[in-house]
Chains A and B, each alone.
Chain A
Amino acid sequence: MRLALAALAALVLAAPAAACKQQGSQAYLETRLVCITCHTTLDESDSPFAVEMKQEIARQIKACRSNSQIIDSMVAQFGPAVLSTPQTHGFDLIAWVLPLGGILLGAAALAFGARRWQAVRATASDDSPQSPLEPEDERRVDEELQKFDA
Chain B
Amino acid sequence: MRALRAVAVVSVLALLGLLVWDLAHQNGPGIAVKVDQGKIVPAPKLDLPLLTGAGRLTLASLRGKVVVVNFWQSSCYPCKLEARDVAAASRAWTAKRSDVVFLGVNAQDLKGPAHAYLKRYDVTYTNVRDALGSTWPKWGVTAVPETFFVDRRGRVVPPHITGQASRAQIDDGIRRALRS
A interface, CB within 8 angstroms of B? 36-37, 48-49, 52-53, 56, 77-79, 81, 105, 109, 112-113, 116
Minimum Cβ distance to chain B for residue A21 (Å): 25
- Determine whether the beta carbon of B113 is less than 8 Å from that of A78: no
Q: Of B1, B4, B75, B131, which one neighbours A77 at CB under 8 angstroms?
A: B131
User: Which residues of A lie under 8 Å from residue B133 when comparing CB positions?
Assistant: 36-37
| Given known A-B contacts A49-B108, A56-B112, A116-B1, A36 and B75 have beta carbons under 8 A apart | no
Closest to A37 in B: B108
Label chain B's interface by main secondary structure: loop
**A52 touching B75 in the complex, CB below 8 Å, given contacts A77-B111, A109-B4, A112-B4:** yes
B132 on interface, CB distance cutoff 8 Å: yes
- With CB as the reference atom, state the residue of chain A lying closest to B112: A56
Beyond A36-B132, A52-B110, A52-B113, 11 additional contacts (C-beta under 8 Å) are A36-B108, A36-B131, A36-B133, A37-B133, A48-B75, A53-B110, A77-B110, A77-B131, A79-B131, A105-B7, A116-B1
Question: What residue in chain B is nearest A116 (Cβ atoms)?
Answer: B1
- Give the interface of B toward A (CB within 8 A): 1, 4, 7, 75, 108, 110-113, 131-133
Question: What would 26 A/B residue contacts be, using CB atoms closer than 8 Å?
Answer: A36-B108, A36-B131, A36-B132, A36-B133, A37-B133, A48-B75, A49-B75, A49-B108, A52-B75, A52-B110, A52-B113, A53-B110, A56-B110, A56-B112, A77-B110, A77-B111, A77-B131, A78-B131, A78-B132, A79-B131, A79-B132, A81-B132, A105-B7, A109-B4, A112-B4, A116-B1
List chain A residues, Cβ under 8 A from B4. 109, 112-113
Tell me the smallest distance from the CB of B29 to a CB of chain A, in Å: 19
Question: CA–CA, A78 to B133, complex, Å?
Answer: 10
Q: How far is the CB of B66 from chain A (nearest CB, A)?
A: 31
B115 → A minimal CB distance (Å): 12
Tell me how far the C-beta of B176 lies from the nearest C-beta in chain A, rounded to whole angstroms. 32
Task: Kindly provide the distance from the CB of B8 to the nearest chain A CB, expressed in whole angstroms.
Answer: 9
Per the bound structure, the CA–CA distance linking A142 and B49 in Å amounts to 97
The residue on B at minimum CB distance from A74 is B110
